[in-house]
Amino acid sequence: MSRFTNNLRSALWALALCIVALYVQPAAAQSNGGFPQANLIKGPDGCFYGTASFRGPFGNANGGQGYGTVFKVSPTGVFKVLHAFRQFDGAYPYGGLTLGADGAMYGTTGNGGDFGMGTLYRIRTDGAFTMLHSFTWLEGAQPYAGVTMDGAMNIYGTTVYGGEFGMGTIYKRSPNGVISIIHDFNGSDGLYPWNRMTLQPDGLYGTTLFGGPGATSDNLQYGTIFKVTTSGQFMNLYTFNGTDGNGPVCTPALGSDGCFYGTTEKGGDFNLGMAFRMTKTGILANIHSFTPADGWYPEGTLVRNPSLDDGFYGATVNSGSDGYPGTIFKIGYDGSVQTLHTFTNLDGWLSVGGLTMSSGKLWGTGFQGGANGFGTIFTLQPQTKVQPAPTSFTKLFDF
Residue 344 lies in a domain: yes
Q: Average pLDDT, stretch 128-145? A: 98
pLDDT at 374 over 70: yes
> Which of the two residues, 9 and 164, has the higher pLDDT score?
164
For residue 183, list its beta bridge partners. 170
C-beta neighbour count of 226 within 10 angstroms: 26
> Which of the two residues, 217 and 177, has the higher pLDDT score?
177
Residue 367 lies in a domain: yes
User: Mean pLDDT over all residues of the chain?
Assistant: 91
**Helix (H, G, I), strand (E, B), or coil: what is residue 19?**
helix
Residue 371 lies in a domain: yes
Residue 309 lies in a domain: yes
Residue 342 lies in a domain: yes
Contacts of 311 (CB under 8 A, 6+ apart): 304, 330, 331, 332, 333
How many whole angstroms separate alpha carbon 204 and alpha carbon 196?
Answer: 10
How many whole angstroms separate alpha carbon 156 and alpha carbon 170?
Answer: 7
Q: Is 334 left (phi over 0), alpha (psi -120 to 50) or beta?
A: alpha
Least-confidence region, from 117-121, 167-171, 258-262, 386-390: 386-390
Residue 286 lies in a domain: yes
What CATH number is attached to the domain comprising 382?
A: 2.120.10.30
Q: Average pLDDT, stretch 31-52? A: 96
- pLDDT at residue number 16: 47
Domain boundaries, position 367: 257-399
DSSP symbol at 354: -
Q: Give pLDDT tens digits for 344-357.
A: 999 998 899 999 99
Our count of domains for the chain comes to 1
How many whole angstroms separate alpha carbon 156 and alpha carbon 268?
Answer: 31
Q: Give pLDDT tens digits for 177-194.
A: 999 999 999 999 999 999
Least-confidence region, from 115-124, 193-202, 349-358: 349-358
Residue 8 lies in a domain: no
Residue 240 lies in a domain: no
> Which of the two residues, 363 and 214, has the higher pLDDT score?
363
**Band of residue 64 on the pLDDT scale cut at 50, 70, 90:** low
Q: Give pLDDT tens digits for 66-93.
A: 999 999 999 999 999 999 999 999 999 9
pTM, two decimals, is: 0.92
Q: Average pLDDT, stretch 166-176? A: 97
